[in-house]
Amino acid sequence: MTAFIRSGSMDRNIVIEACTRTQDDAGAEIETWAPVLPPCRAQLVQNSTKEFLRDFGAEYVENVVFRIRWTNVVTLDNRVTYDGLHYDIKELAEIGRRKGLELRCVVHK
């Protein structure tokens, strides 16, 4: 079976960004996020909210899985911006033999 992503299912626009850190004149660290790729089309595979019990009580985590065309530029240090929210990339999974890339993300806090 050949793994591929249908173009028609890639109906979302996402931006993949990388962080650069610099210091201002006072020595405070400044984070700046800039795109590593032009905005790309993606398939939203999963969007769920899960509850986890922590020491301080319940915590809700929003999990999102995106599929994009293959690229070797994306790393776990990047983030995804989609629909006005920022998502930390927690896991990358190759689809087929470099046909696509699955980005498993959680909403940034």
Note the pLDDT tens digit of each residue in 11-56.
999 999 999 999 999 989 999 999 999 999 999 997 766 655 555 5
Please report whether residue 41 resides in a domain: yes
The residues, any chain, with a CB within 8 Å of residue 38's CB and separated by 6 or more, are none
Q: Which of 21-25, 74-78, 79-83 has the lowest mean pLDDT?
A: 21-25
Please report whether residue 33 resides in a domain: yes
Q: Which of 4-13, 20-29, 74-83, 90-99 has the lowest mean pLDDT?
A: 4-13
Please report whether residue 15 resides in a domain: yes
pLDDT the model gives residue 2: 47
The residues, any chain, with a CB within 8 Å of residue 30's CB and separated by 6 or more, are 21, 22, 23, 24
Please report whether residue 1 resides in a domain: no
Percent of the chain past pLDDT 70, that is, above it, reads 82
| pTM assigned to the model | 0.80
Please report whether residue 2 resides in a domain: no
What is the number of domains present in the chain? 1
CATH code of 30's domain: 2.40.10.370
Q: Select the more confidently predicted residue: 5 or 83.
A: 83
**Taking 80 as the threshold, does the pLDDT of residue 86 lie above it?**
yes
Range(s) of the domain holding residue 29: 10-107
Please report whether residue 5 resides in a domain: no
